[in-house]
Structure 1
Amino acid sequence: MAVGVLALQGSYNEHIAALRRIGVKGVEIKKPEQLRGVDSLIIPGGESTTMAKLAELHNLFPALREFVGSGNPVWGTCAGLIFLANKAVGQKTGGQELVGGLDCTVHRNFFGSQLQSFEIELVVPKLAEKEGGTNTCRGVFIRAPAILEVGPNVEVIADLPVSSDQPKVVLPAIDGQEEREFTDDKVIVAIKQGNLLATAFHPELTSDSRWHRYFMAMVEEAKQEATPSEALVKYDVYANDEDVNAIGKRHLDLPIFE
């Protein structure tokens, strides 16, 4: 079965191209009924408020929550991370609707405006352990969020030191806790919880395919854990041999940054 990529706004074409490079077929998801044709989903980066408004317009939130709640593998990058978080701070007036599922608190725009976007080498031994290569990967942060807190069942894959000139961030009073200032010396930028994966940065904008392979390994693991009756109605996530052979002969139509 193909991997769904939420295609309301943002870098969904880049994710589909990244999947194609590793021999996986990605399909655009724009309507609730299209989720029935996939068993995994990528929610791309983009403008989270705009994506939320479009998802609400197309009545996607109930279907997305059901998809996540059913245990299907889902990966959110940047805005997709915000979508998957149970709690979000630093939002625009009125906030935005969330899909939820990840036991974490995310700051919508922790690193600042578009002008504060940056690239940095992230230390990710877990990625190297699973997919080989070096212990670092290139993190492309574009008006990016950050994860401030995680629950006990959340695995931290990568974090990042907080700059000394980082503006003060206040965590609102939630669940009986008093309002307080965030004072940690680092923020989390990649996590995994069960079949949910989230990154605050954009792996689809680099030539490093390990994050997409890592997610596909999660998909394969989820398929193997499915009951026989469930497995009968699922197709192979990988493209056929003809598609894979064509990838090597076709010039990629999207810019990939080394």
Structure 2
Amino acid sequence: MKQPTVGVFALQGDVREHLQVLDGLGVRAIGVRRAAELDRCDALVLPGGESTTMAKLARTFDLLEPIRKRLADGMPTLGTCAGMILLADRIEDGVAGQETLGGLDVTVRRNAFGRQVDSFEGDIAFEGLDRPVHAVFIRAPWVEQVGKGVEVLARVADGEAAGRIVAVRERHLLATSFHPEWGGDDRVHRLLVDLIPD
């Protein structure tokens, strides 16, 4: 089997950290800033960052529609933090006129856990993984509602946000509220790579 290429949306956000994790999994990892780079990808990561800025830059660099088309065509994609917001079909507390790429039948609340000072980390159980994932939440969203075809992969276990949905999957799309690229655990990225057809 040929070595798959996994792109990381590279116009804004935690690009380097995702590229490092993907390199460690033995795939060809590239930054995606142009449609020609997207064309080379078998899968895509939409990283954490600032979701409104990312959407505007995607439009400016003529990437918004090409990514939407690839998502609709079934390209495996992982959205983390702001990337989860970009994948969502619906947003709560969004900025007026905020665009998303869509494709994931969920309603996501922006900055649901609060401001930067409310950032936190902890271990959460993750469906299909043998041990908890160490999750880092920074101005993170959470999922308010899921559509019929969406599988809930993780919820916050305790505290004020107990029960809130923080990881989901719908067919070829994965999304987490937290940053799986931090902390040396590559299992969430491996789930993405495993979705790439042989």
The runs of 4+ residues in structure 1 deviating greater than 2 Å are 161-164
CA distance 1:196–1:125, shift in 2 (3 Å): closer
CA offsets, 1:114-133, max 9 Å, x none? 000000110114122xxxxx
CA offsets, 1:129-179, max 9 Å, x none? xxxxx2x11010011000010011111100115744x7xxxxxxxxxxxxx
Alignment of 1:19-38 (within 5 A): 19-38=22-41
* C-alpha displacement of 1:31: 1.2
CA distance, structure 1, for counterparts of residue 48 and residue 114 of structure 2: 16
Name the structure 2 match of 1:96. 98
**Gaps spanning 5+ residues in structure 2: where?**
none
SS of structure 2 residue aligned to 1:153: coil
The answer to whether the Cα contact below 8 Å between 1:162 and 1:187 also exists between their aligned partners in 2 is: no
The answer to whether the Cα contact below 8 Å between 1:88 and 1:107 also exists between their aligned partners in 2 is: yes
Name the structure 2 match of 1:216. 193
Name the structure 2 match of 1:144. 140
Name the structure 2 match of 1:206. 183
Name the structure 1 match of 2:118. 116
The answer to whether the Cα contact below 8 Å between 1:4 and 1:42 also exists between their aligned partners in 2 is: yes
CA distance, structure 2, for counterparts of residue 40 and residue 156 of structure 1: 21
Question: How many residue pairs align between the two structures?
Answer: 195
Alignment of 1:49-60 (within 5 A): 49-60=52-63
CA distance, structure 2, for counterparts of residue 206 and residue 24 of structure 1: 19
SS of structure 1 residue aligned to 2:11: coil
Name the structure 2 match of 1:159. 155
* C-alpha displacement of 1:76: 0.4
Match of 2:49 among 43, 46, 50: 46
Larger radius of gyration: 1
| TM-score, normalised via structure 2 length | 0.94
The answer to whether the Cα contact below 8 Å between 1:16 and 1:25 also exists between their aligned partners in 2 is: no
Alignment of 1:164-203 (within 5 A): 164=160, 186-203=163-180
CA distance 1:125–1:74, shift in 2 (3 Å): closer
Name the structure 2 match of 1:72. 75
Task: Flag the structure with higher helix content.
Answer: 1
The residue type paired with residue 90 of structure 1 is D
SS of structure 2 residue aligned to 1:213: helix
SS of structure 2 residue aligned to 1:143: coil
Task: Flag the structure with higher strand content.
Answer: 2
**Gaps spanning 5+ residues in structure 1: where?**
129-133, 167-184, 225-258
| TM-score, normalised via structure 1 length | 0.72
Percent sequence identity is 43
CA distance, structure 2, for counterparts of residue 37 and residue 21 of structure 1: 19
The residue type paired with residue 92 of structure 2 is V
Which stretch of the first structure deviates more once superposed, 108-117 or 118-127?
A: 118-127
CA distance, structure 2, for counterparts of residue 40 and residue 83 of structure 1: 16
Name the structure 2 match of 1:127. 129
SS of structure 1 residue aligned to 2:91: strand
The answer to whether the Cα contact below 8 Å between 1:127 and 1:214 also exists between their aligned partners in 2 is: no
CA distance, structure 1, for counterparts of residue 24 and residue 55 of structure 2: 29
